[in-house]
């Protein structure tokens, strides 16, 4: 995802910035699940990593495609949130 543009706002200060936190995923496999290790109807828990990164809006589609092509299961959980800009762009600066 960083190769596709995630982890940077192109400010020439940093790139490939990601936030990784450990998480527990809970789910139940359904009949249509494409899995060799799970039985439909059973509930499961697995330890996973949650990865977060910032990226420019114009690169979001490329980043999502990169995540989907690298994800080992059916569908990755991807959330996209707009971030503050303009006078609130950098957290180290006080609002004007």
Distances (CA, A) of 67 to 3, 62, 64, 76, 91: 10, 9, 5, 8, 27
Residue 72: give the domain boundaries.
Answer: 19-88
For 62-73, the pLDDT digits (tens) are 999 999 999 887
- Domain assignment present for residue 1? The answer is no
For 22-77, the pLDDT digits (tens) are 999 998 888 887 766 778 888 989 899 999 999 888 999 999 999 999 988 778 89
- Domain assignment present for residue 64? The answer is yes
- Domain assignment present for residue 5? The answer is no
- Domain assignment present for residue 4? The answer is no
Q: How far apart are CA 61 and CA 63, in angstroms?
A: 5
- Domain assignment present for residue 65? The answer is yes
Query: Of 15-19, 26-30, 89-93, which has the strongest mean pLDDT?
Result: 15-19
pLDDT of residue 66: 96
pTM above 0.85, yes or no: no
Overall number of domains in the chain: 1
């Amino acid at each position: 995802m960083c190769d596709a543009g995630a982890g940077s706002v192109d400010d020439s200060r940093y790139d490939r910035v990601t936030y990784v936190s450990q998480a527990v995923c809970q789910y139940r496999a359904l009949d249509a699940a494409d899995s060799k290790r799970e039985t439909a109807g059973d509930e499961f828990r697995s330890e996973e990593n949650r990865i977060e990164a910032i990226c420019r809006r114009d690169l979001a589609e490329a980043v999502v495609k990169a995540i989907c092509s690298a994800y080992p299961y059916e569908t990755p959980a991807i959330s996209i949130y707009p971030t503050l800009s303009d006078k609130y762009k950098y957290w180290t600066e006080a609002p004007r």
